[in-house]
């Protein structure tokens, strides 16, 4: 049964308790549906803990066109966990992590020319949908699912994206599969819902 958290200070307390006595970097996966507030919370936690923050969108691999495959296939393809894994392994071992992020500006499937480099800190936060996926479980110390009411999420998405069209809906369907069948709330260490 996951911890139910209603305030960021409760999450900070849980993190402090879980990492007590740990020598190596402590890795948090901050997962949740689009618009749940993951990026905002991750930045707050990174400042609070002086943590390293990995943006899951750097590892986007879902393509640049509408997909005709199943939501299950999209849930598997959206984020390239095989590229996330070496970054997490390096930071967990106290080494610098290096990767090339998806190029959202060109949006043609390429990775950015420049590399992203992060040095390890006491806490590492992997933020994004699919951050807690089972293939990374052996590297993650705390799996947190951030939830928000659908109307709040949709309002945030409209403010950010300006439209919810077929492109966005295909990924929402993939999230439905992920949070229903791959990582349901009970699979997380904590489920957090904070006021907007």
Q: What are the extents of the domains in the chain?
A: 3-192
Question: Quick one: pLDDT at residue 102?
Answer: 93
3-192 is classed CATH 3.40.50.300: yes
Question: How far apart, in whole angstroms, are the C-alpha atoms of residue 174 and residue 179?
Answer: 9
pLDDT score for 178: 95
Q: For residues 75 and 57, give the distance between their C-alpha atoms in angstroms, rounded to a whole number.
A: 14
Q: Give the mean model confidence (pLDDT) for residues 16-28.
A: 94
Could you give phi then psi for residue 26, rounded to 5 degrees? -100, 125
**Which residues lie below 8 Å from residue 122, measured CB to CB, with a gap of 6+?**
19, 25, 26, 49, 50, 51
Which tens digit of pLDDT belongs to each residue from 67-115? 889 889 888 999 999 999 999 999 999 999 999 999 989 888 899 999 9
Q: For position 159, what pLDDT does the model report?
A: 78
pTM of the model: 0.93
């Amino acid at each position: 049964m996951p911890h139910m958290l209603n305030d960021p200070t409760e999450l900070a307390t849980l993190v402090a308790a879980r990492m007590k006595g740990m020598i190596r970097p402590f890795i948090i996966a901050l997962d949740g549906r689009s618009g749940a507030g993951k990026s905002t919370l991750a930045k707050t936690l990174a400042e609070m803990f002086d943590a390293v923050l990995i943006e899951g969108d750097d590892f986007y691999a879902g393509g640049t066109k509408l997909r005709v495959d199943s939501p299950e296939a999209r849930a598997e393809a959206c984020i390239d966990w095989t590229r996330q894994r070496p970054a997490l392994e390096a930071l967990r071992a106290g080494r610098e992590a290096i990767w090339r992020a998806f190029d959202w500006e060109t949006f043609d499937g390429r990775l950015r020319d420049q590399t992203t480099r992060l040095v390890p800190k006491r806490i590492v936060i992997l933020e994004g949908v699919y951050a807690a996926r089972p293939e990374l479980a052996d590297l993650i110390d705390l799996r947190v699912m951030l939830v928000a009411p659908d109307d709040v999420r949709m309002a945030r998405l409209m403010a950010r994206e300006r439209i919810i069209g077929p492109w966005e809906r295909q990924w929402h369907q993939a999230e439905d599969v992920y949070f229903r069948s791959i990582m349901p709330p009970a699979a997380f260490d904590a489920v957090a819902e904070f006021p907007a």
